[in-house]
Structure 1
Amino acid sequence: MALAEIGRYTGVDRLATWENHLDGVTYGCTNEWCNDGIEPAIDYLRSMTIEAGKPWFDMLEENHIICTSDIYSLDPFITQMLEVQGVKAIAVFPLSQLGVHFGFLSFNFCWNKQWDEKDVELMSQISQIVSTATKRWQVETSLQQSQRTMQKVLDNINANIFVSDYDTLKVIFANKPFREEAGEVPENAECWRMLNAGLENGCKHCPKPKLLDANRKFTGVHFWEDYNPVTKRWYTIQSMAIKWLDGRWAIMELATDITTRKQVELELIQAKEKAEESDRLKSAFLANMSHEIRTPLNAIVGFSSLLAETDEAELRHVYMSLVQENNELLLNLISDILDISKIEAGMIDLVMGRVDVPQLCREVIATFSHKKRDSAVELRFDENSPQIVIDADKNRIVQVLSNFLTNALKFTTKGSITLSYLLEDESQVRFCVTDTGKGIPDEQKHEIFNRFVKLDSFVQGAGLGLSICQSLVNRMGGKIGVESREGEGSCFWFTHPYVPGA
């Protein structure tokens, strides 16, 4: 009931509510209604000391009613205050709730009002209504203030915090960091809809069953980690059941972003796995190299001994050819080992220069044509390739092409091997070595550029060449690959950057 309505109903000149201040030594007028022609007095009545009018204040605190038509019978301080306001008669009723006195309601009359029991009874009932309404307003105001204070505090915590109703799981509070990451919370939105977009039901990992026991008693704080598909980040989460401001059970969750920590952990795991893989590869490398080096060395030593023991010209020629062949094999193997060491140490340097591409290809074909004297395979360069010049490390390009041609000669017994190149997207030169050999099975294509991979264990080689080629091509800024059909042949290719007009 508004003060104006009460005032008009009771015929009072001034109606005011008073409340005790939290400091315990002052009180003041909080609301005032004045009838027509009555000057407001609230501005100088907002804060007064209890001590100044203690007899009056003590009576009200003991739940006594003050009702008089003679203001001069009151405490001198109160009399003086009422005289200033032009009050002739006054009735004051204590305001209390659950036995706790928190203020009073005053009915002021600027004429000699005479009281009867009905007047007192009516004003007493009104004071009880005002008391209840005032206390409710105080509680609601305090609750709102607490909520604002809590919001301000939680908004400044560097963690995502939200609170949801324990029974319905509807979000009833979310702090600023949470809203900035997950977006504003729609009214009546369930927490799992906010945290996991696209879910039709609650989260499988919902901590709710762990937070209250069968008797709805607090069980403690639940710690867990989770990846959020909405924010795409990892969090460590503390979940607990709490009594919310309005007394109901709620679930509060505090989520701290640990994505960086997770990334570091993943990098450490990957580094550990890489180190273990490196150790394994080194052991495998040493074991393989030990075998691969012994093979040509044994041949060189063995046939050298046979050369020393025979004078027959034809046999000596055969033995010398075998020694030379194994010398070449050993030199190539040592060269591959040195390249692998440089690649692992990151010491592959490129010596750049202007390279006439068709001239380079003709030189490579000429070298291999000399080596394959007895082969029935036609080795050729596609003269229809365009005339271009690139900035490149000539020796490294020759090394990759030579490896491609060596492999093609190993696995091609008839037909042809063609070296060609073409311009790709105006920014890349694509080199190709195409053969009509045995081809590569589909299941082996994905591992062809791995170390120690040999398509045929009866063919000489350590299985390092293509792995080295891949590292060199990557270092030169290109890509490498193979296209092959088993029984029809293969096309090994790599690209190299090209700048037109450079």
Structure 2
Amino acid sequence: MPQADALKTGPLETYNRRYSQRGLLNRYAEGRGRYFAYRQMTMAGLSALIGLLTFPLVGLVVFFVAFLGDMLDTVYLARSAPIGETARYRHVQVISTITAAIQALSLAFLAWSPSIFMHSEDHLHQAHATPLFTVGILVGAAINATVILPYHVSAGVTRLAIYGLTPLATIAIETVNGTGGGIADVQLFQMAGLGVLYFSVFFFVSFISGRYNRSRKNTLAMALQHKQLAQINAKLQAQQLQAQRLALVAENANDSVFLMDEEGRITWVNEAFTRITGYRYDEAIGKMPGTLLNGNDTDMAVVRALEKGRATGKPFRLEICNRRKDGQLLWLETNQVPMLRDDGTVETIIAVERDVTAAKQYEQQLKDARIAAEEGARVKSEFLATMSHEIRTPMNGVIGMAQMLERTQLDEDQKLYADTILGSARTLLSLINDVLDLSKMDAGEVILSEVDFDLPACFQQTLQLFEPQAQEKGITLELDIAPDVPRMINGDDRRLRQVLLNLVGNAVKFTESGGVRVAVSTSRVGDRLRLRFSVADTGIGIAKEKQDQIFERFSQADAAITRRFGGTGLGLTISRLLCEAMGGEIDVTSDPGKGACFSVHMRMQPATGSGLAEIADSAQHLGRSLDGMRILVAEDNRINRLLVEKYLQDEPVTLEFAMDGAEAMEKTPGFDPDVILMDMSMPVMNGLDATRNIREMDIRQPVIAALTANAFDSDREACLKAGMDDFLSKPINRDDLLAVLRKHSPAQGRRVVV
């Protein structure tokens, strides 16, 4: 057995286990059960004797009572053992004291029974012997109770009290009945005899208790001494084993190990020292490590730290750049431990050094790779921002002009052409948005904008977008919102709509008959809300082996699906990443040919109370008039200027245009605009610089809304930081443009910079 295990199970632990309160009670219970049969044989013999001297039935009754009392006590203790925790110990202690009293009463009944049944005329010649019989049984029982008294004090005291009171009760009854031979005789003889008996029992109890306590103290002292000896022995063995191991390690270690004296001179080196540094044993002895190993690349600050560490007399660790004997660069991780004399001075320094040159080179490679990756991410971000701007700018013209074309009088063919242009442009824009979203998520640039919003309205409005498509295909589109779902919650409703659009769009696209059902529920987890919704369809379904792949980017369940239904395979990837960003997850269950069910969990918050005010404020904005509003459009793209002009041609506003930021800054004081629609990317001066300059002018400050093709959250933050008030992303939707203008109409009040 290992030394540590021996200490855990040594005499002291055995003593604590045996002599603790629970240990003593367990030993008491074990003893009562072990000697139960012997006690029954003794009581059976005594009961048989009583039956012979009185009546057989009396013997049976006496044995039955004594047996029941003893069995009750023994069975309870047997069922309660082993006794563990403190609360259970106290419970068992109280109940076992009561069962001990019952057992003692049943034995007292056995001892007293001759005095009850031998006073008949048939047994008068034997009655004079009953007191001696009773006392004999009670003395034996008292001796037994005294022996087990240390194990269960309350039970032992209870038994002794009952055994001691039984003779007194007998004498008292005989005195009352007049069968005791007179009061004077009772006082002189019986009471004197009981006094001697009680004194003897008391002396015996004191003797047994004292002997028990002495034995317990001796056992404790021996256990403590044994533990101390075991600890000393274990320490000595550990020291010997450690010395042997250190000797083996030092001699055969792959790391360089050498010893130094108090001045820092090498006194011993192992073979690994020679292999790592190139210096032989005889070349190293008596030399200072720095004299051998320091080179031009060695950092002197590290050398000073090493010398300071040795001077403190405490273990230390550091890394140092050295040179091998052949001049090669050598990085060492040195761990030095001083061995002290009794007076605290350093006697020997043990140095263990590991060659970490390869690790340092790998670390440098990782650093270079990280720099290259960061540069690549920066270039990628710049490229995506440029592509976003360059693609969205013409897309703004295509979509905007197609929308304006739809508002004109068209014949059937022309309407078909316009719808096709608009649909294709929106598809292309969706693809651009998916690629940009995925790029932003990969770069960790997704910023959640958590606000109070109307949850049922969010789902209802999103599903309304697919009603024409569902009606055209002849499928149903159902929304089931649980009754306990709150109306207002706090979260990013824009990202929630994006996930819902992807899932419902896929469900409608892949369902030819039947329908699509969206179920919504919420639950509370502490002070948070957990939003759960599922999108189930009766469409083509997904094979089991493909279900793990559909959330991968540019992946669909089958190549034939791409040819038949189209799509990039990015929608589910983006949905999964958005769910994870909102502290949730998305999974799918499906059987081919029977449809699919996508389940989404998202972390939300209870509404803060601001959402209803925002909804009321938005409704108020919708009713505002644009009559008389002066609008300056800073846009370098001619098509975009024309598009804004067409969007607002039926509105009672005054428009002015600027080709770049510098021209916008020049026209602002004279034109006095209420709102400036400011493009971010323009020649001469960009929109951010123009905004900063306008904010420094001593004029009535206009509302400035960003008009940009850049779609990153960082762009939105840059606009707001520069002093802009709102943000419109290209391609611009006419309704979104009008909503922003109404929001900032003069009815809201004009800001003035003082």
Query: What range is the shorter-chain TM-score in?
Result: 0.3 to 0.5
Structure with higher helix content: 2
Scaled by the length of structure 1, the TM-score of the pair is: 0.41
